[in-house]
Each structure stands twice: as C-alpha cells, then as structure tokens.
Amino acid sequence: MRHTAWRRHPTVLVGSLLLLVLIVSAVGAPWIATHDPYRVSTQHSLQPPQATHLFGTDWLGRDVFSRVVYGARVSLQVGLIVEAVAVVIGVLLGALAGFYGKLLDTLLMRITDTFMAFPSLVLAIALMAVFQEPGLMNVIIVLSLLQWTSVARVVRGSVLAGKEDDFVQAAQAIGASDRRILFRHILPNGIAPVIITATIGVAGNIVSEAGLSFLGFGTQPPTVSWGTMLAQGRNYLTIKPWVCIFPGLALLFTVLGLNLFGDGLRDWFDPRSR
Amino acid sequence: MLAFVIRRLLTLMPVLVGVTLVIFSLSYISLGDPVRAMMGQRGDPEIIAQIRRDYGLDQPLHVQYARYIGRLLQGDLGRSYRQHRRVTDLMWERLPATLRLAAAAMLIAVVFGCTAGILAAIKPNSWIDRLVMVLALLGISTPVFWSAMMLILLFGSVLRWFPISGYGSGHVWYLILPAVTLGALQTGYIARMTRSSLLDVLRQDYMQTARAKGLRDTIVLCKHGLKNAAIPVVTVIGISFADLLTGAPLTETIFAWPGIGRLMVNAVANRDFPVVMGCTLVFALVYVLANLGVDLLYAYLDPRIRYDQED
C-alpha cells in the first residue's frame, strides 16, 4: 500500500529525497566534507572544479564543496528552529482567536494583519537594523517574530470550521473542558494544513536567512552560510562563476525539495486541490 | 459596492495604526537616546535636558506617538543622518525606479504566467503541461538573488545581450534582466493558479452547455472559461505584487538599481535609521494599498463577495 502511495505522489518522493540529502549533509558534514571548510590556502585560490576540489575553491583557497556541505547546517537550523517557534506561537494565537472569537479574535487578527502588512523581508531587514548586531541568533529571533502569522491564520480557520463539527458539539454537551475540546478534538483534525504551511514556511525561512546574509545583515563570517558564500562570491561571478553556482544550487535544491514535499503533502491530504 | 468600499476602508484603519505603531516602536528602540548619540558621553546634563525638552523627548510615549503621527500626516519622515536631506525627498527620487521595475516585472509575470497557465490547462497532462509545471516550480523555488546572478552570468557576461547593472538613465535595455529576475517567482505562481483555476472552470456544466449550443471552442474558452477563471488569478496577482516588494531590496542591490529597496539596504548598512524606517513605512503602505486594490477588484469581478464578507 505504501508503494502505491509513493507512486501516486511522486512529488513527495522526490521532495523527500532532496530533503534527505540536506539532512545528511547537515548532520554528517564532518564526514562528507573533503576538506576543512575554514582552512585558508591562498596559493590554491579560485581554482576551477577538479578531482581534489569538486566544486573548486574560493578566493581564499577554501574548498567550495566542503563549505556547501557545512552550509546546510545553518540553513537547516534556521529553517527548523524558526518554524518550530512560529508553529507554537501561531497554533496558540490562532486557536485562541478561533475558539473564543469576539474581541480576542478581533484583537489577535488585527495584530496578525499588521504583521502581514509588511513585505516580510523588508521588516526583517528593518529589525536586523534595530538589533545592530547581525548574527545567526538574531536572524533566528527576527524571523521567528515574523513567521507565525500564516500558521495563526490557518489554525484560526480550521478551529472556526472545527467548532461546528458534530462531535465537537457532542463533547461540549457532555461537559468536556475548553482545553480538552480544543486540544483533543479540534486541533488534531486541523493538523494537516499546519504541516503543509510549516513545510513551505521552512523553505521561506531558509531563503530569508540566505537573503539577509547575502545583504550582509544575517549570518556573519566565519560561520559558513550559503547566503554569505554568495555575497562573497559575487565579486568573482563573471570570472570564476563556480564560487556562486554551487551554493546557489544547494539553496535551489533545498527549497525545491521543501516545495515538492509540501505540494505533495497537500495533494495527499486533500486530493481535490489538484 | 459603495458599502463594501467603505467597510473595506474601515478595516484598513486598525492595520495602518498597527503599522505606524510598529515603526514608531522600532524607531524608538533603534534611536536609543538620540541626544546622547549627538552629544556623546561628555555632554552637559543641563544642555541634554534642554534639547530633550525642545524635541519633546521628555514627554510620555503616547504623546510622542501622537506627535509622530502628526508629523507623518504632514509628510515629514525626518532627515537622513548621512545625507542631511529630508527622507521624503530621498524617497521621491527613488520611488519611480522601484515602481518602474515592479510594473515591468508584473507585466512579464502576468503575460507569461497567464499564457503558460492557459496552454497547460487546455491540454492537461500533455508535455506542454508538464513543462509549464516544472518551469513554474523552478520559478517559485529559485531565490531571486541567485537567479539574478545566473542571469547576469549568462545574458550579461557570456552572451553579452544585456547590460549587467545600473539604471542606464532609464533605457529599457537595462530594465530587462532585473524585471525578469523579480518577475520569475510571480510568473510561476500565476501560471499555476491560471492552470488550476481554468481546469476547474473547464469541468463545469455550463462549459458543456456552451459547447452543446454549438459555440466554437475558442469562444467557449475566452467568453466562458477565462472570464470565470480570472477571479482566483486576480488574487494571486495581488499577492504577487506584495512579493515583488519583498524581492525589491535584493534585486535592486544586485543590479545597482536606484530604487527604494537599494536605498533601504544602504541605509541599514550606514545605520541611517530615519531612512530605514521611512522606507519600511513606504513599503508597508504600498503593500496595504495593493491589497486594498485587489480586494476591490475582486469584489467587482465577483459580486457575491460584497455581500458575504461579514466578519
């Protein structure tokens, strides 16, 4: 049965494979990397891809392949931690707004609207400016502050719909507590859209981190991030393109994997959306 | 329709208050104590107190916020620390370049996205459909700053078809690469939405009726199909416009495009907070107005919405 499921949803399969590569690179970086990603060797600077340096070397002679492998760590960390925080905040606020309605709903949704009124990267840039101190930790805090809104919206919607279900009304009738109704009956039924939103959200976080780092407001050297690699490689783009091609491809395949996975899950859970 | 417009404008107010509150708080935090920053550690406490009184910094926060709103309404966003000019002047100079880039990107996205989506929906599961869907997925998944670099590498450096950066005093040749970069993501979304929306419509009974009446396929497709499929597509186009703004700082930085996005990025690097906050506000306002425009258009296209929206 599992096999037919995979066959019917090949996008989930391809997405999972791409994600597996990402996770394996992040976790197994010390074993997969062929060189020390930080070791500078100026006499080998800007060498093209070759047997000893699969993706070539950057202007300090550092091995691009090893740096791409280590870069998966920052991307995966930012993507997952930010999304975990976002899901916790989003589920909590969305459930409260949808379940209790009225004034609380209006208030929480206006706050959500306010955050959604900013193009996300623009507000992230402004917040990084306020922090004055770029770095991985602040990137995670800033993106977490911004990322919860879509989850909150989705959860509010499914709680609103779930409240009307017969079994929820039945639970209410036999005197179950609000907390029990919300967490045992309503939320588990609305979990699928949250998972889908979160999967796409992880992709968004990874791109945002790379974008911030690319502009110089995110992860700072010497931490290896695909965004900083692209920022540093930009000066050599037209003459030694490999310093830009490979970190970008890693980013592309990561986002592609998450999008395929998310799209596939949506088809799986909700065949009508095809 | 008028009632809907008024209701929609009223819901805008709390959002605008929220946006200004966020920006006011950010300015407050980021400026820290502007007087200390100006005078340094050796400032005379009495002079500092005097300046604080002059600028109203000794007032409670809500009074300071009210004054901030008052200044905003007069179009005063403060002065740049670096360029010693009014922030509004700096932005007026750069807004046309950003809007020009966004409009061009949107045009590319709508033309290519809709065409590709229609082609895919007419022949579902054909090779055209598959190709369109793969390209759309690639468009959605490629980060703008990387696609910008790859376009510069291929079309600017290797093929030498287009200039690789700059505004070229408005020459359209300079516009193409940035606009394609910025529009790629939206092209993908619009193609997907056009396809799925049109597929949905094509399955409806009234399409069969139209065909049964003996209407020609192209007429059925254009008059009955596309018109009804347009509504969800319009929504995506509206959301896309917002995404365009998100991509603007990155695209403008890479292509050295003299727009608001690049102004903001440079201001952050220079710690020029009045400019950063001014740009953030303008981006938010454009974003909110774009969404308002889409909602109104949406209500115009689908009259049911005007009556249903009662939350």
Chains A, B: CB contacts under 8 A, how many?
136
Mean pLDDT of B70-98: 87
Shortest CA distance from B21: residue in chain A: A114
User: From CA A178, how far away is CA B226, in angstroms rounded?
Assistant: 47
Cβ atoms of B41 and B51 within 8 Å: the answer is no
Which chain A residue has the Cα nearest residue B252?
A215
Q: Is residue B213 predicted with pLDDT exceeding 70?
A: yes
Residue A13 has φ and ψ, to the nearest 5°, of: -65, -50
Which string of b and e fits A82-102 if b means at least 16 CB within 10 Å?
Answer: bbebbbebbbebbbbbbbeee
Average pLDDT, stretch A250-273? 84
Choose among A214, A216, A248: nearest Cβ to B269. A216
The answer to whether the beta carbons of residues B81 and B278 sit under 8 Å apart is: no
Please give, rounded to a whole number of angstroms, the shortest distance from the CA of A241 to a CA of chain B: 8
What integer is the mean pLDDT of A36-48? Answer: 83
Q: Which of B81, B142, B145 to mutate to test the interface with A (most CBs of A within 10 A)?
A: B145
Res B287: pLDDT: 84
- Cross-chain CB nearest to B146 (options A126, A130, A251): A251
**pLDDT at residue number A188:** 83
Chain B (51-90) residues lying within 8 Å, Cβ to Cβ, of chain A: none
When comparing pLDDT for B254 and B214, which is higher? B254
Portion of chain B with pLDDT greater than 70, in percent: 92
B169 touches chain A (CB under 8 A): no
Confidence of residue B232 (pLDDT cuts 50, 70, 90): confident
Report the residue of chain B nearest A234, measured CA to CA: B149
pLDDT confidence band for A42 (50 / 70 / 90): confident
For an interface test with B, give the residue of A19, A75, A105, A121 to mutate (most B CBs within 10 A).
Answer: A121
Nearest by CB to B149, from A114, A122, A234: name it: A234
Residue A272 has pLDDT above 60, yes or no: no
Q: What is the pLDDT of residues A167-202, one digit of tens each?
A: 888 888 888 888 888 888 888 877 888 988 999 899
Tell me which residue in B15, B26, B152 faces A114 most closely, judged by beta carbons: B15
H or E, element range at B174: helix B172-202
Across chain B, what does the average pLDDT equal?
83
| CA-based nearest residue in chain A for residue B154 | A238
- Please list, in sequence order, all residues whose beta carbon lies within 8 angstroms of the beta carbon of residue B149, skipping any fewer than 6 positions away: A230, A234, A237, A244, A248, B254
Q: Determine if the pTM surpasses 0.90.
A: no
**Alpha carbon of residue B209 to chain centroid:** 40
* Residue from A216, A87, A101 nearest A148 by CA: A87
Q: Which of A12, A106, A108, A122 to mutate to test the interface with B (most CBs of B within 10 A)?
A: A122
Cα–Cα distance for residue pair B143/A226, rounded to 1 Å: 12
Which residue of A12, A78, A130 to mutate against B (max B Cβ within 10 Å)?
Answer: A130
Closest to A211 (Cβ–Cβ): which among B22, B145, B279?
B145
To which H or E segment does residue A257 belong? helix A242-269
Chain A: give the shortest CA distance to residue B29, in Å.
Answer: 7
ipTM for the complex shown:
0.85
Q: Is B189 on the interface with A (CB under 8 A)?
A: no
The SS3 assignment for A238 reads coil
- Half-sphere exposure (Cβ direction) of B277: Cα atoms closer than 13 Å: 26
Nearest to A119 among B145, B265, B287 (CB): B287
Q: Is B259 touching A (CB cutoff 8 A)?
A: no
Q: What is the pLDDT of residue B158?
A: 84
B60: closest CA of chain A, how far (Å): 22
A110: contact with B, CB 8 A cutoff: yes
What confidence score (pLDDT) does residue A75 get?
Answer: 93
Confidence of residue A65 (pLDDT cuts 50, 70, 90): very high
Confirm or reject contact between B252 and chain A (CB < 8 A). no
Rounded Cα distance, A73 and B273, in Å = 32
Q: pLDDT higher for A237 or B240?
A: A237
Is the Cβ of B167 closer than 8 Å to some Cβ of chain A?
no
Indicate the range of B57-66, B69-78, B99-108 predicted with least confidence. B57-66
**Share above pLDDT 90 across residues of chain B, in percent, rounded to a whole number:** 25
Bigger pLDDT: B309 vs B120: B120
Mean pLDDT of A44-66: 85
A117, A252, A274 member nearest B142 (Cβ): A252
CB contact under 8 A, A122 and B246: yes
Average pLDDT over residues B40-62: 74
Q: What's the Cα-to-Cα distance from B256 to each of A186, B165, B175, B251, B253, rounded to whole Å? A: 51, 6, 11, 8, 5
**Which residues on chain B are in Cβ contact (under 8 Å) with A234?**
149, 254
Task: Report the candidate in A119, A138, A117 with the shortest Cα–Cα distance to residue A213.
Answer: A138
pLDDT of residue A157: 87
Q: Which residue has the tokens 């060498």?
A: A47
CA separation for the pair A147, B79 (Å, rounded): 31
Chain B residue closest in CA terms to A130: B30
Tokens of B165: 């950066």
Confidence label for B311 from pLDDT (cuts 50, 70 and 90) = very low
pLDDT at B142 over 80: yes
* pLDDT of the residue at B200: 84
Contact at CB, B143 and A215, closer than 8 angstroms:
no
Nearest CA in chain B to A120: B246
Nearest-by-Cβ selection for B284 from A117, A256, A259: A117
* pLDDT category of residue A271 using cuts at 50, 70 and 90: low
Query: How many CA atoms are closer than 13 Å to the CA of A108, on its beta-carbon side?
Result: 25
Summarize pLDDT for A223-249 with one digit per residue, the tens: 899 999 999 988 888 888 889 999 999
